[in-house]
Structures are given as C-alpha cells and as structure tokens.
C-alpha cells in the first residue's frame, strides 16, 4: 500500500505539489494524469524517493520514504515505475526491457 499525507514539494520558490493526500491499496491500478507541468512525474518520483519533498509523509508498504534512516535502495526494489520517456534499451526486446530491473535487483 502507498499512503501520502499532505505531501508538498518546492523547486526553489515554485511549489509543485501542495498537500497531496491519497492512498493506493494493494492490487489497485491507478493513473496519474494532468496537463504538462502539473507535477505528475514529481509526485511519482517522490513516492520512489528519487525526489525529496519538503513536508508531509509518504509510506510505502509500512516504510517511510522521507525518513533519513530508510534504505531507499531496498525500498525501490519493491516499487516499480516507468519513466515518461521510457528510456528503453534499443538492442533488447520489450519484455526484456520490462524485466531487467527485477532480474538485476531481485
């Protein structure tokens, strides 16, 4: 489960996320959609610990993403994401591109 409670993120003086709160339960499939520049990628990067956030709390399977004691590498091994530009390896089949992270990390 992913739980976000009042997550806010700034880039300098520009506030990208403001008090984002939601829950995603095990087995649930969601889509994050919105116009360009609305913070979709930033939100997903915060969940994976790729972007620090200024306030609020994100819990992934009982682990606090923002806690400095959290082993982010271990957490990321349980969180999957696909980047906007995909960044696929051109010499590999699609299925191999999709599985490479799981094979290398797990």
Domain definitions of the chain by residue range: 2-105
pLDDT digits (tens, 9 = 90+) for 50-65: 999 999 999 999 999 9
Q: Are 25 and 1 in contact (CB under 8 A)?
A: yes
CATH 3.40.50.450 assigned to 2-105? no
The Cα 46–Cα 16 span in angstroms is 11
Q: What is the pLDDT of residues 74-102, one digit of tens each?
A: 888 877 776 666 678 889 998 998 888 77
Q: Which residue shows structure tokens 């299925």?
A: 95
């Amino acid at each position: 489960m992913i739980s976000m409670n009042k997550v806010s993120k700034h880039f300098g003086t520009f506030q990208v996320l403001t008090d984002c709160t939601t829950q995603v339960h095990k087995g649930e499939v969601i889509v994050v959609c919105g116009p360009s520049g609305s913070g979709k990628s930033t939100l997903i990067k915060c969940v994976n610990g790729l972007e620090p956030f200024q306030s609020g709390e994100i819990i992934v399977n009982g682990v606090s993403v923002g806690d400095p004691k959290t082993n982010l590498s271990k957490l990321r091994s349980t969180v999957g994401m696909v980047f906007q530009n995909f960044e696929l390896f051109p010499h590999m089949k699609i299925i191999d591109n999709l599985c490479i992270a799981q094979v290398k990390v797990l």
